Copies of this chain bind each other. A is one copy, B any other.
């Protein structure tokens, strides 16, 4: 069996492995929390990025109030770990209501969301039959990229009323300007952050004017959270990938590649000198199939190779990936077998930390003394 003893250093770990630089992670956590404090809002990190209790505990310790989840499995796992204030930020499917209610009845302060009349009616009917209730937030669409109701949509009030008159508390509105991932300019990001803020606040004001309380105004994505100039009317912000950052975020311009806390440890297993290729044991199973940088300013292939100490190796990108083979294309290809000997360990920075992490049952947290500690992460639904 694989060696799982604690405190191995990077040279001793089996490959591939997902490495979390805990120093960088803590700096990312602290910087985001300080920013939220300065903006005068609560912070509710999205834990879908890591699905790891050890990481989320560090976010809570830094000042996060509650968490955001993308699946009920995440809600269950983090509730079992002692976190009670949880927003399930995917539109409620009626068939999932019993599972959500089971969590609530165990003491979880679970908020669910809706953006349509059918889901709102299903929630009302379910709660009536269960003789219980949910805190429901309405999802607002502020950038047209996915789900939600436009702030000026008549349906926003109609759905608010279905819930309100059905005895369900409309606890808030929430939006996610996910189109921020497509930008790479600080002015444009600040403008989108303002659009996200203004649209969500406007939706809350319309609901309140209609007699629906709507205490919470929740906005966010990593780029807009870092670009917002002010957050008047907003009560809380959500962001996920900032905790590790990744090459997509570096291209968006909200971090430097030196801020990226997640990397994939890999070993050299072969060479094709004529092609300038070093073959490594990090293929797409280790990196994920995410090619999020493919349409950005700089395309990193499946990732940017670094030396074992984390220093980027310029001209060394993971150009291709099969399931367990990565093809590292080296621009200056002379003497490959000597420069990248069989067994040499490298680290690859990922395009997308959420997708890469999801390939692993555990992270290896790299401590300041060079030792590592296994941090479990879960998967599935």
Contacts and interface: CB of A to CB of B under 8 A. Distances in A.
In this complex, the member of A48, A70, A72 whose beta carbon has the largest number of chain B beta carbons within 10 angstroms is A70
Number of copies: 2
A206 interface: no
A171 to B, nearest CB: 19
A341 interface: yes
A98 to B, nearest CB: 8
A76 interface: yes
Contact of A284 (B141, B268, B355): B355
Interface string A336-376: 01000111000000001011001111100000000000000
A298 interface: no
A343 B358 CA distance: 26
Does more than half of chain A's interface fall in helix, strand or loop, or is it mixed?
loop
A178 interface: yes
B342 A122 contact: yes
A108 to B, nearest CB: 13
A269 B379 contact: no
A162 interface: no
Interface string A280-310: 0100111011110000000000000000000
Contacts of A146: 272, 279, 320, 322, 325, 327
A37 interface: no
A115 interface: yes
A175 to B, nearest CB: 14
A167 interface: no
A147 interface: yes
Contacts of A63: none
Interface of A: 1-3, 14-17, 48, 70-73, 76, 90-96, 99, 102, 115-116, 118-119, 122, 141, 144, 146-147, 178, 267-272, 275, 279, 281, 284-286, 288-291, 320, 322-325, 327, 337, 341-343, 352, 354-355, 358-362, 379-381
20 contacts: A14-B96, A14-B99, A15-B93, A15-B95, A70-B324, A90-B325, A92-B269, A93-B267, A93-B268, A94-B342, A116-B270, A116-B337, A118-B342, A122-B343, A146-B279, A284-B355, A360-B380, A361-B379, A361-B380, A379-B379
In the complex, the 5 A-B pairs of residues with the closest C-beta atoms, listed nearest first: A118-B342, A289-B289, A91-B269, A361-B380, A289-B290
